Amino acid sequence: MAKKKKNIFERTYPRFWRDFIYTKVAGSILVPRPYRWRLLRALGMDVQQSIIAPGSYFSDRRIHIAKNVGINTGAFFDASDDIWIEEDVYMGMGVSIITSTHEIGPSRKRLGPGATAPVRIGRGTWIAGNVTILPGVTIGAGCVIAAGSVVNKNLKPDGLYAGMPARRIKDLEPGEDRDDAVNVAGDAALAQ
């Protein structure tokens, strides 16, 4: 059987259709929240039953979302490498998970070769709005990450982290009430 010849549009924009389906169709407000995870799964992502708000950007299929995950509007997933999100993780608006970067080149051209590293987010973690998670990070189970934080290194389980870069500001007991942690996270963000 002869291989179908790609048209000029497919040759010029090989990722266009995939990006269009992931972002514009699956991320559309026209797809009800209870069905969005099903559509992403049908498109080849490893997604279990979860709530994914409209307006999120998924760059590739290398995203693994366990059951009972909540992703608020405007999340950005750079899946140049694998992103693993375990059960009961919740993300605020505008969270960015980035798996690609570049090495620093010589002075004539500082943008060096590209590099990727996976990101893993442990069970029960709460990531507040506008948090940025950088390549190669593993976030331990049961963490709370304050709004606007930048996570550039691994985080140990059951801790409240805040800042740029994120640092541990409080130990959380497994099963501790998250409302108390929210107040501490807000106070820490205001103090910086």
Check residue 189 and give its pLDDT: 43
* DSSP conformational letter for 60: S
Nearest to 156 by CA among 117, 119, 122: 122
Coil, strand or helix at 191: helix
Check residue 175 and give its pLDDT: 67
Check residue 36 and give its pLDDT: 86
* Residue 30, Cβ density class (10 Å: 0-12 exposed, 13-18 middle, ≥19 buried): exposed
The identity of residue 128, as a single letter, is: A
Across the chain, which has 192 residues, the per-10-residue mean pLDDT values are 56 65 75 84 89 88 94 94 97 97 92 95 98 98 97 97 97 68 46 44
Coil, strand or helix at 183: helix
Domains along the sequence of the chain with CATH = 8-102+110-191 (2.160.10.10)
Enzyme catalytic residues:
102
Task: Output Rg (C-alpha) for the chain, integer angstroms.
Answer: 18
Q: Which residues have C-beta within 8 Å of that of residue 38, sequence separation ≥ 6?
A: none
Claim: this prediction has a pTM higher than 0.85: no
